[in-house]
Amino acid sequence: MKLIFEMGAPGRGSELVPECRSSYVLNTALREKPLHLPEVSETEISRHYTELAKQAHGVNDGFYPLGSCTMKYNPKVNEEAAALPGFTGIHPLQDVDDAQGALEVLSKMEDMLCEITGMDACTLQPAAGAHGEFTGLLLIKAYHTNRGDRNRTKIIVPDSAHGTNPASAAMAGFDVVNIASDDHGCVDLDALKKAVGDDTAGLMLTNPNTVGLFDPNIAEVTRIVHEAGGLCYYDGANLNAIMGIARPGDMGFDVMHLNLHKTFAAPHGGGGPGSGPVACKDFLAEYLPGIRVLTANTLPDAVCASDFGITDQENHYIVSRADRSIGDVRSFCGNFLVIVRSFCYILTLGREGISEAATGAVLNANYMMHGLKGHYRMAYDRVCMHEFVVTLEQEKQERGVSALDIAKALLDHGIHPPTMYFPLIVHEALMIEPTETESRETLDEAIRIFLDVLKQSEETPDEMSQYPLAAPIRRPDEVAAARKPIVRYFRE
């Protein structure tokens, strides 16, 4: 396939590109020479992107059970909301009085996320899950530092954690202490008790954890950490199993992030844009980054609404900054249009819809787990939450068929592979998350295909390493693709 830079001819163009409406660009920031952009006709653009879309597998193409990533359907009404001119034409430097609608979205979104998580305050600024983790850890650091408690340098992370957890803790300047999981993939309480002390800044935990199980000792876990003087961070990237059912704030967590681009139906894949809001308890709110959107009702007691010229208290929003803010982690209000999409999603579902989505996600995962059981080996044979993990360790040993082989063979049947080789505590792992947006027929068909592929791997194990046969790319050198990606076009 040709790159778009190799297509077209000078002078060709199309009406597809939206007009640039921003009048805020400083003259000093303007290019001296025009940017070298491809000049292509509408037909060429249209064909080019259609061809690109055909080369990839998206949620609109077929089943996408990529565990931990929550590849649910992205309702098109969210796109319509995000395309409203009032949202697309606004500028973050615009006068607050002209941005009341956008501020209302931000304020109400924060309120809804606080309600869903059981937290008191929220920032929508972080642009991704890992970015939210980093932000939350800086809040923990600010809390200890402001109390003069400077010896708390350690963050405890269970070995089942998502890889971003230890990475974020290290980036925020903490030392990472790993603790082992018990036989059920949950936190080993004895190991935790041994690990905590007066150098513990906090614990980072995902619950349900990365093997799809809800930790039954969660209240005890947060109690142990608090008793040692640490804070509890909840990785809420995938809230799909518990939203509207259970709340991290009630489990004893102090701060957390959510991935709007997983649980709350904002599109993802391909590197963004995402949104990873951070919600926290009251005592951490004074450290939050970014602007705080306030209404007259939420103004601190010391300020009088009339000082701000506020007459209609219900409907006027103002912005301020938290007293001891850690500073901005991103420009302005975060990825605003991603927030609008998820805002629309939450309003569409409502209180009942949110919990129905969660129960549907758990039901679908258990349905599929039971369909595969007895053929695929379950890493943990218990009722799962929104995802479950199978292990191909025995197949690998007995006939050399790996999790990768199975995953690649699924591609030929129009199924995106599950997450592979994660969590690290399970060998030859495939992590499967069907999500609530799949029908029973789709699940039945997927189960049939998973079983067929496994059978094929028993009958012709030697052929398994050649799949996929039908995909545009077969088996790329994944190390080279990750380490030496070519992301720029060089013109000869």
Contact set with ligand PLP (CB under 6 A): 68, 128-130, 162, 164, 206, 235, 237-238, 259, 274, 276
Q: Which two tokens stand for residue 492?
A: 């000869």
Nearer to ligand PLP among residue 158 and residue 229 (C-beta): 158
Cα separation, 491 vs 392, in Å, equals 45
What is the helix (H) or strand (E) element at residue 279, kind and residue range? strand 278-280
Q: How many CB atoms lie within 10 A of CB 193?
A: 14
What is the nearest approach in angstroms of ligand PLP to the Cβ of residue 389? 13
What is the nearest approach in angstroms of ligand PLP to the Cβ of residue 13? 36
What is the nearest approach in angstroms of ligand PLP to the Cβ of residue 331? 18
Amino acid (1-letter code) at residue 224: I
Nearer to ligand PLP among residue 203 and residue 228 (C-beta): 203
What is the nearest approach in angstroms of ligand PLP to the Cβ of residue 275? 8
Nearer to ligand PLP among residue 68 and residue 391 (C-beta): 68
Nearer to ligand PLP among residue 48 and residue 247 (C-beta): 247
Nearer to ligand PLP among residue 155 and residue 454 (C-beta): 155
Query: Tokens 């992030």 identify what position?
Result: 257
Cα separation, 79 vs 486, in Å, equals 31
Query: What residue is closest to ligand PLP based on CB?
Result: 129
Nearer to ligand PLP among residue 413 and residue 416 (C-beta): 416
Mapped to the 3 state alphabet, what secondary structure does 40-94 carry? CCHHHHHHHHHHHHHHCCCCCCCCCCECCCCCCCCCHHHHHHHCCHHHHCCCCCC
Cα separation, 434 vs 17, in Å, equals 36
What is the nearest approach in angstroms of ligand PLP to the Cβ of residue 368? 19
What is the helix (H) or strand (E) element at residue 200, kind and residue range? strand 200-205
Contact status, residue 255 vs residue 281, Cβ threshold 8 Å: yes
**Burial category of 175 from C-beta neighbours within 10 Å (exposed 0-12, middle 13-18, buried 19 and up):** exposed
279: phi then psi, degrees, rounded to nearest 5:
-115, 145
What is the nearest approach in angstroms of ligand PLP to the Cβ of residue 264? 12
What is the nearest approach in angstroms of ligand PLP to the Cβ of residue 111? 23
Nearer to ligand PLP among residue 162 and residue 413 (C-beta): 162
450: helix, coil or strand? helix
